[in-house]
Chains A and B, each alone.
Chain A
Amino acid sequence: MTYETVIGLEVHVQLKTRSKMFTRVAAGYGHPENTLTDPVVLALPGTLPVMNKDALDKIIKAGLLLGCDIAPVCKWDRKNYFYPDSPKNYQISQYDQPICRGGSVEIELPGPARNVMGEHKRIALTRIHLEEDVGKLNHGEGASLVDFNRAGTPLMEIVSEPVIQSADEAFAYLTALKTIMIYGGISDCDMEKGQLRCDANISIRPVGQEALGTKVELKNLNSFSFVRDGIAHEIRRQTAVVESGGKIVQETRDYDGQTGTSQSLRSKEMAHDYRYFPDPDLMPVEVDSAWKESIRSGCPELPFDKQRRLLEQYQVPYTITSVLVPDGELSDYFEEAARLSGKPQAAGNWITNDLLRELGASKTPLSASKVRPAHVAGLVKLVEDGTILSNAAKEVFIDMFHSGEMPEAVLARKGLKAETNLEDLERWCAEAIAANSKSVADYKGGKESALNAFKGPVMRAAKGKADPKRVDETLRRLLAQ
């Protein structure tokens, strides 16, 4: 029997705000333990929560970017449970009135080859709601130690419908979601910093069966590849259980990415009973169309829309766009270089090969790059008009990367200017052709290799400093006249 997989993902994304969700102490990562707390975070008696306006703006923006319906009114609820990571003994969340409903995430599946675009599809969302993050527990000798720095950080929970069909789709979904969040300035989604966290609900069923199988929740998927590997592992595990006549037990499993194994977390004897009720300390949120429209007007072009536009507008290959588009800043950089140079593909090649290589090697962010789009465009033009040969251009690029000087200045300083200008090259080619009528006849008679007979004299005249490709092109052009 063949089985199909049904996956729903719950993704928690920390919003990139300066202060916390319900109080104004700073939010942040990597600070010394318990230095980002205040009486509200610590739930000291007599404190009251006050919403962070920017967190609301950001979740509305996320909802608009993902095509959700934004609720005209929503409220806050208390989710009650005892756990040391939550000093209030409840978490402020949204239960039956999430701020965003519906919507979808466009994903791209792996293509048949790296340079071929894969299939696109949409993963439907159930809802997105806003809540507050909890503190962090460190398990030590005989005790657990609590750091409340993270507690109260605005946290968005994005719940997909159970419509994801494979580990690859889950990976593509997270990738697309992360790119959109970064484009919108909503979150940096750095999984290592806990800014994006993912739980997966996974079940299998015989192909053709309508009812969903028993689901298993997979936790601790703390990198994108662990999500993919963990889901693939769980699908294999469930298939093996069912094929050997067993039954899937509803449980939560912990995936260990290091060993590629999972184990059941001790099942709670009692189902969770969070006793949600409306938080009396917080008034509802009302989103009118003016507010929504002001946020919509600040929404960026979506990544895949941008990719389609770059392919269409600049006629650059998919491989260039697939490198540029995940990074909004890099694609803006490209567009400026393409505009300044008038040669999008050449500019794209410099950016996706040379610039990214040098930025990576020197661990420099794009924003700190001394090579700006004007430098790239300048270099493209120098190569294009034959002032400089491609090998020398590579050298100029590396020099510009370190010096920040414009390519013309580097050229003058280093004496890298090709000794051939186009006029010289044209003349040398014409002379070589005039001096060898036999090879001209051979070439015109269809003997392709006769072209080589002209190249030697041209390269000699250029003292080796002529671009072979350009010599070839010039000779062919003159011979065709």
Chain B
Amino acid sequence: MPKPEDFNLDHVANLARINLTAEEKTRFSSQLGDVLTYIAQLNEVNVDGVEPTAHAFPVVNVWADDVAEAGLPVEDALRNAPEKRDNMFVVPKVVE
């Protein structure tokens, strides 16, 4: 199937912070193109008079009262961190 014209794999890979080999690019380009083309079939459906929605059910205003509860102990919060220091998560140095 032909892929949509505005599809740019390098851009998508860059946004996802991943590096792709030339072989991967060819393969993913084709696979993601197929997905997009498949989804593009929705463009054929007549949606006149249908309100856009992100949900199938007409449920609104799902909330909780503003009552503060105890959170995680700091040692639990950091349990999965690959690296920690001073009770904080260590990440590669970020400079804006």
Which A residues are closer than 8 A to B by beta carbons? 17-19, 24-27, 32-39, 41-42, 50-56, 73, 75, 80, 82-84, 137-140, 142-148, 265-266, 270, 273, 275, 277-280, 282-286
Using A19-B66, A35-B71, A144-B90 as known contacts, list a sample of 20 further A-B pairs with CB atoms less than 8 Å apart, ordered by residue number in A: A19-B68, A24-B68, A27-B68, A33-B87, A37-B72, A37-B77, A50-B62, A53-B66, A56-B63, A83-B94, A84-B89, A137-B94, A138-B88, A139-B94, A140-B85, A143-B90, A144-B94, A146-B91, A280-B55, A283-B60
Q: Mark B37-72, 1 if CB is under 8 A from A, else 0.
A: 000000000000000001100011111111111111
Contact A280 B68 (CB under 8 A): no
Contact B93 A143 (CB under 8 A): yes
Q: Would you call B95 an interface residue if the criterion is a C-beta within 8 Å of the partner chain's C-beta atoms?
A: yes
Contact B68 A144 (CB under 8 A): no
Tell me the dominant secondary structure on chain A's binding face. Answer: loop
Q: Would you call B6 an interface residue if the criterion is a C-beta within 8 Å of the partner chain's C-beta atoms?
A: no
Q: How large is the interface on B (under 10, 10 to 19, 20 to 34, 35 or more residues)?
A: 35 or more
Report A23 CB to chain B, min CB distance, Å: 9
Contact B66 A52 (CB under 8 A): yes
Residues of A within 8 A of B60 (CB): 73, 283-286
Residues of B within 8 A of A279 (CB): 54
* A50 CA to B87 CA, complexed, in Å: 27
Tell me the dominant secondary structure on chain B's binding face. Answer: loop
* A19 CA to B67 CA, complexed, in Å: 6
Contact of A25 among B11, B55, B68 (CB under 8 A): B68
Closest to A58 in B: B66
Question: Provided the pairs A51-B64, A53-B66, A55-B66 are in contact, do residues A33 and B93 lie with their beta carbons within 8 angstroms?
Answer: no
* A1 CA to B87 CA, complexed, in Å: 57
* A266 CA to B94 CA, complexed, in Å: 13
- With most chain B CB atoms within 10 A of its CB, the pick from A41, A142, A266, A284 is A284
Q: Would you call B78 an interface residue if the criterion is a C-beta within 8 Å of the partner chain's C-beta atoms?
A: yes
* A247 CA to B66 CA, complexed, in Å: 50
Question: Provided the pairs A17-B66, A52-B63, A278-B54 are in contact, do residues A32 and B87 lie with their beta carbons within 8 angstroms?
Answer: yes
Q: Would you call B2 an interface residue if the criterion is a C-beta within 8 Å of the partner chain's C-beta atoms?
A: no
Report A195 CB to chain B, min CB distance, Å: 17
Question: Provided the pairs A50-B62, A56-B63, A285-B61 are in contact, do residues A26 and B94 lie with their beta carbons within 8 angstroms?
Answer: no
Question: Provided the pairs A143-B91, A283-B62 are in contact, do residues A33 and B86 lie with their beta carbons within 8 angstroms?
Answer: yes
- With most chain A CB atoms within 10 A of its CB, the pick from B66, B93, B94 is B66
